Amino acid sequence: MASYLARRTGYTLLILAISSVVIFYALRSAPGGPSGGGVLNPLASQEIRQAYDHRMGLDQPVYTQYFIYLRHLATGDLGTSCWLITLATAWFLALQRSRSRT
């Protein structure tokens, strides 16, 4: 029984690791890249794009971005909404939306 649970736990951790890598790179390879996917005005200057990339950590190496992504994922930090003026956290918006459906 213990070996079965150990094997299942190992498979679960492997699937979670592979899924996190696939999701991370899918988000990075979206059209326009992570900083150009409709967040910034298409006419934004290069200085504004560089400032945004620095603020979001996109100027760091990919492996550093991945570990930051994992840390935020593990702590439930799903980021900040760029679409709302209030800049509410994504977790708060998801919770608010789920409550409004009930």
Q: Which residues of 23-56 are buried (b: 16+ CB within 10 A; e: fewer)?
A: ebeeeeeeeeebbeeeebeeeeeeeebeebbeeb
Average pLDDT of the residues of the chain: 81
What is the amino acid identity at position 50?
Answer: Q
Confidence (pLDDT) at 87: 58
| 63: enclosing H helix or E strand | helix 62-75
Secondary structure, 3-state, 30-63: CCCHHHHCCCCCCCCCHHHHHHHHHHHCCCCCHH
What is the amino acid identity at position 17?
Answer: A
In the predicted model, is pLDDT for residue 19 greater than 60? yes
Binned at pLDDT 50, 70 and 90, residue 7 comes out as very high
Q: Give the C-alpha separation, 72 to 69, whole Å.
A: 5
Binned at pLDDT 50, 70 and 90, residue 16 comes out as very high
Three-state DSSP class for residue 40: coil
Query: What is the Cα 60 distance to its own chain's centre?
Result: 15
Segment 22-71, tens digit of pLDDT = 988 888 887 766 666 666 667 777 787 788 888 888 889 989 999 998 99
